[in-house]
Amino acid sequence: MFALSAVVTSLLLLEVVPSALAALTRFGPGVERLDKLTRLGLREGKVAWLVPTAGVLHTLATVALLVGIWHPAWGLVGAAAEAMFFGWVLTRQLRFGDRGKALFAYSLFASWSVLVLLVAAARL
């Protein structure tokens, strides 16, 4: 079960780490992508607090996911946080009429988060 946890957590981290770095550094293409998906006006500075907050939360979730490989309770916390974030993005996409291929990436990320959450729960 440890190996499975390490593998699924690593897959999730492939998305979470770049997202956290992009949000923390306010990297233009990362912010633009999030703005395109959520339609919050991030590029215009309408909700300026959201990007740094997402970066901090992604970073904390990343740390929890990494620690969760050895301590499943932390993995559960990190995966739950990521599942909520990716679920929120998907909800925004659906609200604004995205369908089909537009939903694939964040559906996949949310699925990985739920999978990590389930594996961590099974390890408790």
CA distances from 108 to 17, 59, 114 (A): 16, 20, 10
DSSP string, 45-56: TTTTTHHHHHHH
Q: Are residues 86 and 109 in contact, defined by beta-carbon separation less than 8 angstroms?
A: yes
Q: Which residue has the tokens 């490989």?
A: 69
pLDDT at res. 115: 96
pLDDT at res. 111: 94
pLDDT at res. 120: 96
Give per-10-residue mean pLDDT for the chain (124 aa): 93 88 83 84 82 89 95 96 93 89 89 96 95
pLDDT at res. 91: 93
Alpha-carbon distance of 22 to 32, in angstroms, equals 10
CA distances from 112 to 4, 51, 79, 95, 119 (A): 12, 22, 9, 22, 10
Q: Is the pTM of this model over 0.85?
A: yes
**Tokens read off for 109:** 């990320």
